[in-house]
Structure 1
Amino acid sequence: MRPLTDDETKRLFKKLSVYIGDNVKLLIDRPDGNYVFRLHKDRIYYAKESLVKLTSNFARKQLISFGTCIGKFTKNGACRLHITALDFLAPYAKHKVWAKPGAEQSFLYGNHVLKSGLGRIAENTAANQGVVIHSMNDMPIGFGVAAKSAQDCHQADPMAIVCYHQADVGEYLRSETHLT
């Protein structure tokens, strides 16, 4: 376990800012204490500073996990967010998409959101903007990238892709079936 380098921090904050903009600083200085990002075995963990101090009591090989794994760095150095980051992205998300119940189930199976399944979209959403996908009852179910701007969605064909799938809460269940 080690702190992120400046380059790694820039890549992580750039990825997070795609979804939450300038609210990245709110992830670090929270009312309930200071939180930090740490790297352990190519995984990025987000944990309270006091918890990180307690992990120093364990040898690196004995430490499996701590805090919340929010992503990883790939072999080529790119930052990839995991679905576990959703709980931290959703409250600060600037751009949101709401999926209808039928499209919600399709999204949870790993498919993109189509115009026919679009319930609502935030007005200021631009194309290629990171978005958090919610069900119609405001429960965050995943995140993705807007394929079209909010204005383009109004004139789009019903079968046009509105939001590309990045991660969803159904991933855990799908990955568990491959392990058994």
Structure 2
Amino acid sequence: MRPLTDTETQTLFSKLANYTGRSLTHLITSSTSIPASSKSKKDEDNRHVFRLHSSRVYYLPLYLANLATSIARPNLLSLGTCIGKFTKTGKFRLHITALDVIAPHARYKVWVKPNGEMPFLYGGNVVKAHVGRWSEDCPEHVGVVVYDMKDVPLGFGVTARSTAESRRLEPTGIVTFRQADIGEYLRDEDTLFAT
């Protein structure tokens, strides 16, 4: 497990910023708002970091990353929350396990009606007829987190059209392209956590 290089960090942060926007800084800064002059060693260890292990990026507290240095790399399977993985071409792909990390910081959101939950969880895109509501002024091709009407995150995707264009669509028009959904835990359980 090692820290990310500059190019890996830039690739990861650009992908995360597509979903979180400016609140990306809340992921890496300490959760307490204590001035830097009065921060103790314990407060510094509570901040979270990103670490790379066999092409997968993990999000974990700094103190846990420091403890992991005592474990040999072949013996370490996983540590923290898996955010995604780097492909062989150097691109970054978010996994569904990143949903708990990006959902509280999501900039744009789409809420689906109860009749649209199952088609989305089975791997389908979100169509206009299934949208209960969505964030205002959402541009085209930006990351959104998909929620049910009870504010439970179901997955994330990329908008097919802006909010203004989506209102003029027919009911079967695609509003959001699915990137990942929580149904993957069952559909891909054999390969989701495989090394």
Q: TM-score range by the shorter chain?
A: over 0.9
Pairwise CA RMSD? 1.3
How far did 1:178 drift?
7.8
1:95 to 108, 126, 140: 108
Q: How does 1:44-59 map to 2 (within 5 A)?
A: 44-59=57-72
Q: Number of matched residues?
A: 179
Q: Which amino acid aligns with 1:90?
A: A
Offset at residue 104 of structure 1 (A): 1.1
Q: CA deviation at 1:176?
A: 2.7
Shift of 1:75: 0.8
- Alpha-carbon offset, residue 30 of structure 1: 3.1
Q: Which runs of 5+ in 1 are unaligned?
A: none
> Looking at CA atoms only, which structure, 1 or 2, has the larger radius of gyration?
2
* C-alpha displacement of 1:57: 1.3
Q: In structure 1, give the amino acid aligned to 2:29.
A: D
Match of 2:141 in 1: 128
Alignment equivalent of 1:155, drawn from 168, 187, 191: 168
Q: In 2, Cα distance between the equivalents of 1:66 and 1:21?
A: 26
Question: Which stretch has the larger CA shift, 9-18 or 53-62?
Answer: 53-62
Tell me the TM-score normalized by structure 1.
0.96
Distance 1:111 1:160 in 2: 12
Percent identity for Structure 1 against Structure 2: 51
Pair 1:70-2:83 in alignment? yes
Distance 2:162 2:189 in 1: 35
Q: Structure 1, residues 90-121: CA drift from partner, whole Å, max 9, x if none?
A: 11111000011111111000000001111101
Q: CA deviation at 1:23?
A: 1.1
Return the structure number with greater strand share: 1
Question: Which residue number in structure 1 is paired with residue 38 of structure 2?
Answer: none
The equivalent residue for 2:129 is: 116
Write out per-residue CA displacement over residues 26-84 of structure 1, whole angstroms, 9 at most, x where no aligned residue: 10113162110000000000000000011111111111110111100001110000011
1:141 matched to 2:158: no
1:149 corresponds to which letter in structure 2?
A: S
The alignment's TM-score, normalised by the length of structure 2, stands at 0.89
Farther off after superposition, 96-105 or 29-38? 29-38
Aligned partner of 1:92: which letter?
H
Taking a change above 3 Å as real, the CA distance of residues 160 and 45 of structure 1, as seen in their structure-2 partners, is same
Determine if the alignment matches structure 1 residue 43 to structure 2 residue 43: no
Match of 2:13 in 1: 13
Where do 5+ consecutive residues of structure 2 fail to align?
A: 33-45
Aligned-residue offset at 1:177: 6.9
Runs of at least 4 residues off by over 3 Å: none
Q: Which amino acid aligns with 1:69?
A: C
For residue 137 of structure 1, give the secondary structure of its aligned residue in structure 2.
Answer: coil
Matched, 1:174 2:187: yes
